[in-house]
C-alpha cells in the first residue's frame, strides 16, 4: 500500500515536471515535453554547479553532451568518415564511396548557441552521413571554438578560415569536389556562421572558387529586437526559450551576462542609443519585413529611453559578422542562391523570415521552407530516441532541395 502510494506520488511529481502547456499545432507535443524536461534538468544542474563555483555552466553541459552524444569517426559501407582539420580547425569529413568521380561539396556548421555541441555528436554525424550518401557529396562538419573559452569573433574566424580552406584548390582536388557545386550550410548558431561566411566570401573578388548555395536552418541573425512576433509568441516554447537566446548572445559576444534583463526589455535598442541609425533599425523592422500572417496581432516594443551605455559596451551587437541580418543590400545581393528553413514555434522564426525578405529585395533567389508544426532544433532530432516526424520531414526536404539545386 505504501509502495503504491509512493509510486503514485513519484509519478505525479514526474508528470508535473514534464508537463508543459504547448501550442496546439506543435508536432508530437509529448515528445517535445520529454525532451524539454531532459534539457531543463541538465541546465538546472549546470546552473547549480556554476553558482557553487564548481565549474562554468557551459563546461558542465558540454561534458554531459560529450558523454552522451559524441561518437568516434567510423565508416560504413556507403560513407568513409575521418577526422581531420581545415586551416587548423577540427573537422569531420564524410566521403561517399562510389558514385561520380567528381562530388558535390558541403561545409556544415553545427548549432548550439556558439557554446554547445559538436560535429562529433551522434545527431550531426547521422545528418552529415545521410547528406553524403543521398547527395553523393563530400560533407565537412566543422568544430569551431566555443564560448565561454572563445568569444566573437573567434567562432566566425574559425568558420571563415575553414571555408576558405574548403574552397582551396588543394582541398577540392584532394577530395575530388566539383568547384562548381559547393555549398555552405548550418543550423541555428551554425546558420548564423554560414550566413556571415557567405556574405564575406561572396564579396571577395580574389577567390577563384565560391559557394554556389547557402542553406540556413532556423538561423539566428540579430540581437537588437527580442520582441519580434516570434519572440513574443514563442517565448515559453521549448527547446529555445527567449531568455536563453539572450544569454547565448551575451556569452558569444563576450559581454556581461548580467545584461540579460536589458536585452530582454529591448533597452539596448532604445531610441536614445545614438549608435543605432535609422538605416540599421530598418534592417530589423519586422513591421515592414514580415508578411501580415506572421505579424498577427503583435506590436513592436521600442523604448524611448533605455540603457545608452550598452551599445558602447557591446558594439558587436551591430557587427554584421555577428548579426548578418544587418548587412547592406549591396552585400546581400552578391551572396549565392539561398535556402532558409524556419519553424512556426521558434523564437528565431522571424530572424529567418526577415532575412528571406531582405535577400529577395537584394535580388537573390531564395527558397523559404517553413514548417507550421516545427520547433527550434527539430531537424537534428530526426533520429531515435526522439525521432521527430517534423524533424524527419524537414531533414529530407532540406536534402532534396540541395539535390535539386547543388
Residues designated catalytic: 188, 346, 376
Yes or no: say if 197 and 184 are a contact pair by the CB < 8 Å rule: yes
State how far Cα 372 lies from the chain centre.
18
DSSP per-residue string spanning 28-68? SHHHHHHHHHHHHHHHHHHHHHHHTTSS-HHHHHHHHHHHH
**C-alpha separations of 292 from 127, 198, 310 in Å:** 34, 29, 32
**What is the C-alpha to C-alpha distance for residues 90 and 165, in angstroms, rounded to an integer?**
12
> What do you get for the CA distance between the two ends of the chain, in Å?
65
Closest CA to 188 of 123, 137, 268: 123
Strands (E), 60-131: 79-86, 89-96, 103-109
For residue 357, give the C-alpha cell: 525578405
For cell 541573425, name the residue.
Answer: 221
Eight-class DSSP state of 361: H
Using CB atoms within 10 Å of the CB of residue 273, give its burial: 0 to 12 exposed, 13 to 18 middle, 19+ buried. buried
Task: Report the run of H or E that residue 118 belongs to, with start and end.
Answer: none
Q: Which residues contact 1 (CB under 8 A, 6 or more apart)?
A: none
Task: Tell which phi-psi region holds residue 307, choosing left (phi > 0), alpha (psi between -120 and 50) or beta.
Answer: beta
**What is the C-alpha to C-alpha distance for residues 342 and 394, in angstroms, rounded to an integer?**
10
**C-alpha separations of 401 from 103, 131, 246, 366 in Å:** 17, 11, 31, 11
Closest CA to 145 of 252, 257, 255: 252
**What is the C-alpha to C-alpha distance for residues 215 and 399, in angstroms, rounded to an integer?**
10
Amino acid at each position: 500500500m505504501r509502495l503504491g502510494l509512493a509510486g503514485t506520488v513519484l509519478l505525479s511529481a514526474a508528470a508535473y515536471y514534464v508537463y508543459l502547456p504547448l501550442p496546439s499545432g506543435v508536432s508530437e507535443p509529448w515528445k517535445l515535453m520529454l525532451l524539454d524536461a531532459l534539457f531543463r534538468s541538465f541546465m538546472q544542474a549546470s546552473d547549480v554547479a556554476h553558482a557553487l563555483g564548481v565549474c562554468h555552466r557551459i563546461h558542465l553541459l558540454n561534458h554531459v553532451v560529450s558523454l552522451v552524444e559524441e561518437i568516434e569517426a567510423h565508416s560504413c559501407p556507403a560513407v568513409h568518415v575521418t577526422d581531420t582539420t581545415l586551416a587548423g580547425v577540427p573537422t569531420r569529413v564524410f566521403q561517399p564511396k562510389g558514385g561520380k568521380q567528381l562530388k558535390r561539396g558541403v561545409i556544415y556548421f553545427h548549432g548550439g548557441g556558439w557554446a554547445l555541441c559538436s560535429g562529433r555528436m551522434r545527431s550531426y554525424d547521422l545528418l552529415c552521413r545521410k547528406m553524403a550518401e543521398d547527395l553523393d557529396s563530400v560533407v565537412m562538419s566543422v568544430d569551431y571554438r566555443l564560448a565561454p573559452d572563445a568569444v566573437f569573433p573567434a567562432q566566425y574566424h574559425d568558420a571563415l578560415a575553414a571555408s576558405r580552406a574548403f574552397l582551396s584548390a588543394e582541398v577540392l582536388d584532394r577530395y575530388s569536389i566539383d568547384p562548381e557545386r559547393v555549398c555552405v550550410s548550418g543550423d541555428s548558431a551554425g546558420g548564423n556562421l554560414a550566413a556571415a561566411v557567405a556574405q564575406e566570401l561572396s564579396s571577395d573578388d580574389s577567390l577563384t572558387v565560391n559557394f554556389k548555395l547557402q542553406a540556413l536552418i532556423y538561423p539566428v541573425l540579430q540581437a537588437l529586437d527580442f520582441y519580434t512576433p516570434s519572440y513574443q509568441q514563442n517565448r515559453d516554447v521549448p527547446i529555445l526559450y527567449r531568455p536563453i537566446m539572450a544569454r547565448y548572445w551575451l556569452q558569444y559576444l563576450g559581454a556581461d551576462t548580467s545584461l540579460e534583463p536589458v536585452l530582454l526589455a529591448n533597452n539596448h535598442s532604445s531610441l536614445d542609443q545614438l549608435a543605432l541609425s535609422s538605416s540599421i533599425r530598418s534592417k530589423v523592422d519586422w513591421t515592414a519585413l514580415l508578411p501580415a500572417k506572421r505579424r498577427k496581432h503583435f506590436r513592436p516594443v521600442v523604448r524611448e529611453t533605455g540603457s545608452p551605455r550598452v551599445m558602447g559596451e557591446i558594439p558587436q551587437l551591430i557587427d554584421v559578422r555577428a548579426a548578418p541580418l544587418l548587412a547592406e543590400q549591396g552585400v546581400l545581393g552578391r551572396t549565392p542562391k539561398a535556402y532558409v528553413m524556419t519553424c512556426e514555434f521558434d523564437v528565431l522564426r522571424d530572424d529567418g523570415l526577415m532575412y528571406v525578405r531582405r535577400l529577395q529585395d537584394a535580388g537573390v533567389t531564395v527558397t523559404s521552407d517553413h514548417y507550421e508544426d516545427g520547433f527550434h532544433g527539430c531537424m537534428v532530432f530526426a533520429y531515435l530516441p526522439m525521432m521527430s516526424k517534423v524533424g524527419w520531414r524537414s531533414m529530407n526536404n532540406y536534402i532534396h532541395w540541395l539535390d535539386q539545386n547543388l
